[in-house]
Structure 1
Amino acid sequence: MGSQGRRGSYLTGSSSNSNNPGVLSRVSNTILQSPIVHQGRRTASDAAFVAKNLLRSTGKAAWIVGTTFIILFVPLIIEMDRDQQLTEIELQQASLLGTPPVSTQT
């Protein structure tokens, strides 16, 4: 049990001698200072920045398209539906009165 405690403290650098860092802390410091790790972090940061800006601009575009659709096309769709209902009512009234339906095709 005692040797495990010494081994664990040696690996993590938490031994009583604070001037001698452990193997894991030396290895992790060496890895973190590597130019490859630095380049990878910078690339990941750049990718996150681009993704954030892409999502922001996509959201803006979706807002513009959505509001334009609501303002321009919904009233048009409603008016076309009203016109269709009016035409159907006229055809029903014409058939009830016995007059032949008038063709609206030109």
Structure 2
Amino acid sequence: MAAQPRRGGVSVPDRRSASKPDSSILYRIISSSIFSRGKQAASDAAFVSDKLLRSIGKSAWIAGTTFLILFVPLIIEMDREQQFTDLELQQASLLGAPPAAPARS
């Protein structure tokens, strides 16, 4: 019976017997404690950055929707009020009335 090819992934050479440890440089690097600690640190950093990005995204969503709900209608209303004031001043100047001094706040 012929061996079936594996699907996807990287092919790894077959493991050697436990009585004959592998002495290749790659095996020594991968099995070193420094490599495993570095791999764990990278995994932890990826986890923390993922959580941080998710929380920043949620915060941005909350800030954006709050701005749209609270401040955009206020800005529109203030613009509408300014247009109404400008229209009154224009009508008063067309009728010949002396221009009123702008209200100071």
Whose radius of gyration is greater, 1 or 2?
Answer: 1
Higher relative contact order (CA 8 A, sep 6+): 1
TM superposition score normalised by structure 2: 0.75
**Code of the aligned partner of 1:75:** P
Q: How does 1:50-65 map to 2 (within 5 A)?
A: 50-65=48-63
Task: Point out where structure 1 has 5 or more consecutive residues left out of the alignment.
Answer: 1-12
Task: Point out where structure 2 has 5 or more consecutive residues left out of the alignment.
Answer: 1-12
Q: Which runs of 4+ in 1 moved over 4 A?
A: 18-23
* CA shift in 2, pair 1:67/1:82, >3 Å: same
How many pairs were matched up?
89
Question: 1:40 is paired with a residue of what secondary structure?
Answer: helix
What RMSD, in angstroms, separates the aligned Cα atoms of the two structures? 2.2
TM superposition score normalised by structure 1: 0.75
Q: Which of residues 72, 97, 100 in structure 1 aligns to 2:98?
A: 100
